[in-house]
Amino acid sequence: MYNFFGRLGYERTRAGYHPVEFLGDQYQGYFTCDGYQAYHSLPERITVTGCMAHARRRFDESLTVLKKDFTKEQLKETTAYQAMERIGMFYKIEEMIRDKSPEERYEERQKQAKPLLEAFFEWLHTLEDAVDRSSKIGEAVLYTLNQETYLKRYLEDGHLSIDNLAAERALKNFAIGRRSWLFAKSIRGAQASATVYSITETALLNGLKPYNYLTYVMEKMKELGAFPAKEEMLELLPWSSNLPDDCRSKLKK
């Protein structure tokens, strides 16, 4: 059983040292991201894994351009379409093994996904010198080949995801809100906003209704006083089994 935790942060730049500071000096493990080069030069204790969704997105953009001039049958013969079909197989496997244990996911990926992934990259390598590098499909092929090492790493550990869409989903509500309020008045304000969103997104990840949960926590904090015991605080965390049913969403998570 795992406790899901979403933490958002704010920085003024995309410098490569920010993830290191965010994760902390003691962190040893995986870091899933897109192909942004600054994030691929992290300390050895942090292993970078790639995001298949970002690779897929580039082939999809190429396919969108081709749809203007190609029939459905012609599209099926294009590199973009065939790449999308191959990547789709990886996601079908992930869907089938979603509810399995990390150990079982690892075994299934080794048996099912690894051969397909190896064949996918062998195929892309045959296209490397044939595509127009300035075209959408050229960009997609080269981007994916440049990320080959990182895109294969999800096979190494059943705890890993094939992409970082979970993180993107956690940021979605923040992005929607930003369209309304546009700016934070100060850096401290932006950081405070990230903290609030960390709490609400963690609530969502654990199947809670954020408004009900926050209301309950604030009411309980008034009862606990200024110096609550650690045990009392643990009872208020989003994964606590003692939270009232009113805080829980009826939607399956």
Structure tokens at 221: 């904090």
* pLDDT by 10s per residue, the chain, length 253: 567 778 888 788 888 888 888 888 889 999 988 888 888 888 899 999 999 999 999 999 999 999 989 999 999 999 999 999 999 999 999 999 999 999 999 999 999 999 999 999 999 999 999 999 999 999 999 999 999 999 999 999 999 999 999 888 877 877 787 777 777 788 888 888 888 888 999 999 899 999 999 999 999 999 998 889 999 999 999 999 999 999 999 764 4
φ, ψ at 72 (rounded to 5°): -60, -40
Residue 206 gets the label, from left (phi > 0), alpha (psi -120 to 50) or beta, of: alpha
Q: Is 38 exposed, middle or buried (0-12, 13-18, 19+ CB in 10 A)?
A: middle
Rg of the Cα atoms in the chain: 22
Nearest to 113 by CA among 151, 80, 77: 151
Structure tokens at 133: 């590098």
Amino acid in the structure at residue 189: G
Amino acid in the structure at residue 171: L
Contacts of residue 247, defined as CB under 8 A and 6 or more positions apart, other chains included, come to 208, 209, 212, 213, 216
Q: What pLDDT score was predicted for residue 197?
A: 87
Give dist(CA 165, CA 214) in Å, integer: 25
Q: What pLDDT score was predicted for residue 144?
A: 97
Nearest to 83 by CA among 51, 52, 38: 52
Contacts of residue 197, defined as CB under 8 A and 6 or more positions apart, other chains included, come to 8, 173, 174
CB 93 within 8 A of CB 110: no
Give dist(CA 38, CA 18) in Å, integer: 10
Q: What is the 3-state secondary structure (H, E, C) of 85-122?
A: HHHHHHHHHHHHCCCCCHHHHHHHHHHHHHHHHHHHHH
Give dist(CA 151, CA 176) in Å, integer: 29
Contacts of residue 158, defined as CB under 8 A and 6 or more positions apart, other chains included, come to 100, 101, 102, 103, 104, 105, 106, 107, 109
CB 173 within 8 A of CB 200: yes
Amino acid in the structure at residue 31: F
